[in-house]
Structures are given as structure tokens and as C-alpha cells.
Structure 1
Amino acid sequence: MPQISVDHSSSLAGSFDRRALGLAINRLAVETIDAKPEACKTVFRSNEEFVVGESEGPDAQVYVEFQIFPGRTPEAKAALADGVLALLAEHIAPAPGSRLFTAVNISDIDRESYRSATAAG
């Protein structure tokens, strides 16, 4: 555990290396919240539309959500969030004339109800 979701504007799809960013995020989770490397699972999802207020754009966004088991300190969660924002700035730049909005949310999963399975082929 953690389950990591990276939602991004489709306009960014070809502008950054998702695998490199995912690996960097996974390593950061290992370093900051003592996650096990094999437990870090990161998924990327492209979003067609992103609208900010009444802006005509062009705007883009990257939103990272971590779902982790409880027990990490607020300081560890803050370090993780700050680290993810720094990684996003390293890996993704806004296109000329556009704005890039980035955000991170870290939430605790209910350990009692969470289930997972792995199948091998």
C-alpha cells in the first residue's frame, strides 16, 4: 500500500514520461512514509476536459491522490505531499501560454474494509 492515482489533462499526455514520474513517486513514498516498494501502485488517468472558473484556457491540471493505511504522522504526509509537488514541477512543464495546476491529496484508507488480490497468469 499505497494506492496512487495521477489524473492529468489529456493535453499533457505526450509532454512527460509517465513511467519515470510514477517510479519517482513510488521511490518518494518508500523514503517518506516507509512504504514497501512492491506495495506502491501508481495509475495514470487522462482527462479530456479541465475548466478553471470562467477561464477560456488553455489550462491543464495534474492531481495526485495517495490512499494509505493510517499511522503516518502529519509531518510525514506533508513531506510526501511537498515531495510530490516538487516531482511534478521537475517532470511536467506548462505549455507556452497555458497554466498548469497541480495538487496532491493524501488520505487514510479504512484498514478494516480494504481488500486486495493479486492474480498471476
Structure 2
Amino acid sequence: MPQITIEYSAVLADLFDRRGFALALHPAASELIGSAPADFKTRFHALDEVVIGDGGAAEAMIHADVAIMPGRAAAVKERLGALTLETLCRFLGPGSGRNTQVTVEVRDIADYHKRVLPQ
């Protein structure tokens, strides 16, 4: 925990510093929600086919699903969403030539099991 999944239009791949985003978000979010940075897991999925609005080619998107353990106050979740949104925008370089919708959903994990296997 937390489990962060980023889906983004593949046309943004060269402009989106994915590793930089994760390495910036993990410690900042860790401090905010009180979870160890080592527990953060972020994975990225480039989407080859995305239809936004009327399907025009000038549109792109990035969406973050941030799943955390239950028990955080609504205000903390709101700050986590804002932090994630700001960090996504900071690590998306200019020049895509597209209107890019950047969205974040923060949600509680319903059921979670974890085991760390030693080396």
C-alpha cells in the first residue's frame, strides 16, 4: 500500500517523465498519509487507443488511481489527490500539441493482502 496506477495516452510517452513522477510523489505522499515510502508501488499503462469527447486527435489523457488503506480523513484524501494532480502536471513536459485531461481518483482499498519475499 499505496497502490498507484497511471493510465496515459501513448502519444504522451515521450513527454511524461514517469520515473521522475513516482520518485517525487512517493516521499511527498508518504509524509502526507503516514505510509513508508518503501510501501508505495506505482505502475504505468500506456493506452494506444483512447477516445475523449468527440474522438478528435487533439485530445489526450492521464489518469491516476491512488488506492490507500481505509481510515484517512476526507481532508487528507483531498490533499493527496491535489498533490498527485500537481505532480502529474509537473512531470508532463510541454509540446504535446494536444488538450490533455489530467485526472486523479483517491480511493480506499477494500481488501488487501501483502507478503514481502526475501532475496
Tell me if TM exceeds 0.5: yes
Give structure 2 stretches of 5+ with no counterpart: none
- Cα distance in 1 for partners of 2:78, 2:43 equals 21
Q: Does the 8 Å CA contact 1:94/1:100 hold for their aligned counterparts?
A: no
The alignment-based identity, stated in percent, is: 32
Mapped to 2, the partners of 1:80 and 1:115 lie a distance apart of 23
Q: What's the counterpart of residue 92 of structure 2?
A: 92
| Deviation of 1:102 (Å) | 0.5
Task: Kindly provide the amino acid, as one letter, of the partner of residue 117 in structure 2.
Answer: A
1:118 has 2:116 as partner:
yes
Superposed CA deviations along residues 10-53 of structure 1, whole A, max 9, x for unmatched, are 11111122111011121221121111111111111111112112
**Please, what TM-score do these two structures have when normalized by structure 1?**
0.89
Q: CA deviation at 1:120?
A: 4.3
Q: Report the equivalent of 2:18.
A: 18
User: CA offsets per residue over residues 60-87 of structure 1, 9 Å max, x none?
Assistant: 1110011111011100000011111111
Distance change (3 Å), C-alpha of 1:60 and 1:120:
farther
Contact 1:7/1:64 (<8 A) preserved: yes
Contact 2:2–2:67 (8 Å) recurs in 1: yes
Structure 1 unaligned runs (5+)?
A: none
Distance 1:64 1:34 in 2: 20
Distance 1:42 1:22 in 2: 7
The whole-number CA distance in structure 2 between the counterparts of 1:96 and 1:16 is 10
Root-mean-square deviation (CA), in Å? Answer: 1.5
- Name the CA shift for 1:93/1:55 in 2 (closer, same or farther; >3 Å): farther
| Partner AA of 1:24 in structure 2 | A
SS of the residue 2:56 aligns to: coil
CA contact (8 A) 1:60 1:94 kept: no
| Cα separation, 1, equivalents of 2:114 and 2:8 | 25
Which residue number in structure 2 is paired with residue 3 of structure 1?
Answer: 3
